[in-house]
Amino acid sequence: MLKKVAFHTLGCKLNFSETSTIARTFSEKGYERVKFGEPADIVLLNTCSVTETADKKCRQAIKKAKAKSENTFIAVTGCFAQLQTEKIAKIPGVDIVLGIKDKFKIFDHINNFEKQKTSNIYSCEISEVSEFDGAFSLSDRTRSFLKIQDGCDYPCAYCTIPKARGKSRNTTINETIKNAEKIAEAGIKEIILTGVNVGDFGRSTGENFFDLIKELDKVKGISRYRISSIEPNLLTDEIIEFTSKYEKFLPHFHIPLQSGSNKILSLMKRRYKKELFAEKINKIRKTIPQAFIGVDVIVGFPGETDNDFQETYKFLENSDISFIHVFSYSDRPGTKSISMEGKINPAEIKKRSKKLHELSEQKHFKFYKSNIDTIQNVLYEQKKGDFIFGFTENYIKVRSKFNENLINKIKNVKIIRITEKPKLFAEV
């Protein structure tokens, strides 16, 4: 009887690409994959540690896995596992903890997956990590997350990622193209390029991100590429112009801002000022008017006065953006910001966060509404109830009556109306 294995991923798209790659290793060795929450012989958790909430979710997932069966073998890897190895190993029920260097090497350390009396730890100092482990997802019929880069050399005051994933590194353009070709062979139409800092691609191979996307555009079988997130100082005019001219690269940008106050950006140790960010938004709108522009913002960073927050709010309000990803600041062990003065009361952080969420909803609806009566290319993905959903090139979620023949197909449609409740989507 085949042993059953379940996977649970916390955090970013990069983690999803890695979990999918680990899962394929188990499948190749004859294990049956089941959904997390179902009875399983083995559960592997790929964790995140960007926020305090991510840490809590990891502990909750371990508890949930253990609750299904006392005999379930529990493996924990990911960023939280690298940063808090000993702490995780002491959680009842955990059998093995794999740091960043050993994430893909579970079968090098164990084969029988029998419960352990004590947790086994396989980890190292992050300074010892230099290799790049390529990864991509194949679990979705229509889109794949392709890992092109890992680690980060940016010492942002609030961030644990350099301590969890190490220095910026990548494989070569040629090897990245080979992975994209494997995704195409699986019949997947869309690739999301993922990494910790994708714009930094090429740092370890003497190449660059712009040269990568030019080569990816030539891969046969892939119809669409999205760039998951790129720093404003690395989003060059040539990348924006390339996106406007080459149909495979979609008009979808996700750009971290973090604050609309130059004072706070300086405290955060970010590598740009808000004026540069504004230049990038204006360049995108001038070149690709209907592009989706998502923005990351941190609320309540130490030293953020009410005036600083109002400056951020006004900057975002006056920016022609489509959506705001709002993150409430939380102290992360080992970061510079944990010892900074001027900590913000949690109630005030919650209040400011609510205001930005409301602004985001207004921006998002306005962006959707601006696309009414336009013709859009939609990649249809999945069925929910009597409908099938998909996304336009500029990341508008579209709902149509279910037709099985639409799955994994790209169709030209006309958006006729926008529905706000229960969720925001377009109807065609």
Are the CB atoms for 271 and 236 separated by under 8 Å? no
CA–CA separation, 73 vs 55, rounded Å? 20
Determine how β-strand 120-122 pairs with β-strand 94-98: parallel
Architecture of domain 135-365: Alpha-Beta Horseshoe (3.80)
Report pLDDT digits (tens) over 38-95. 989 999 999 988 777 777 888 888 888 888 778 899 999 999 999 999 989 998 889 9
What CATH number belongs to 4-124? 3.40.50.12160
CA distance 216 to 228: 15
pLDDT of residue 197: 96
- Rounded to whole angstroms, the Cα distance separating 408 from 140 reads 10
E strand spans, 228-321: 252-258, 292-299
* pLDDT at site 126: 92
Cα–Cα distance for residue pair 106/221, rounded to 1 Å: 33
Q: For 155-205, what is each residue's pLDDT tens digit?
A: 999 999 999 999 999 999 999 999 999 999 999 999 999 999 999 999 999
**Residue (of 358, 419, 417, 426) closest to 393 by Cα position:** 426
| 293 beta partners | 253
In the prediction, which pLDDT does 11 show? Answer: 84
Q: How much is the pLDDT for 142?
A: 85
The pLDDT of residue 151 is above 90: yes
Q: What does the alpha-carbon distance between residue 311 and residue 261 come to, in Å, rounded to a whole number?
A: 6
Res. 140: pLDDT tops 80: no
251-to-244, 290, 379, 395 alpha-carbon distances in Å: 7, 7, 14, 8
3-state secondary structure of 135: strand
Can you tell me the distance from the alpha carbon of 81 to that of 423, in angstroms, rounded to the nearest whole number?
35
Determine the pLDDT at residue 265. Answer: 98
Residue 325 amino acid letter? H
The whole-angstrom separation of Cα 315 and Cα 319 is 6
What is the CB neighbour count within 10 angstroms for residue 352?
Answer: 23
**Both tokens assigned to 133:** 């482990």
For residue 112, count other CB atoms closer than 10 A to its CB. 6
For 273-294, letters b (16+ CB in 10 Å) and e give ebeebbebbeebeeebebbbbb
Is the Cβ–Cβ distance between 75 and 96 less than 8 Å? yes
Residue 426 is encoded by which pair of tokens?
């377009």
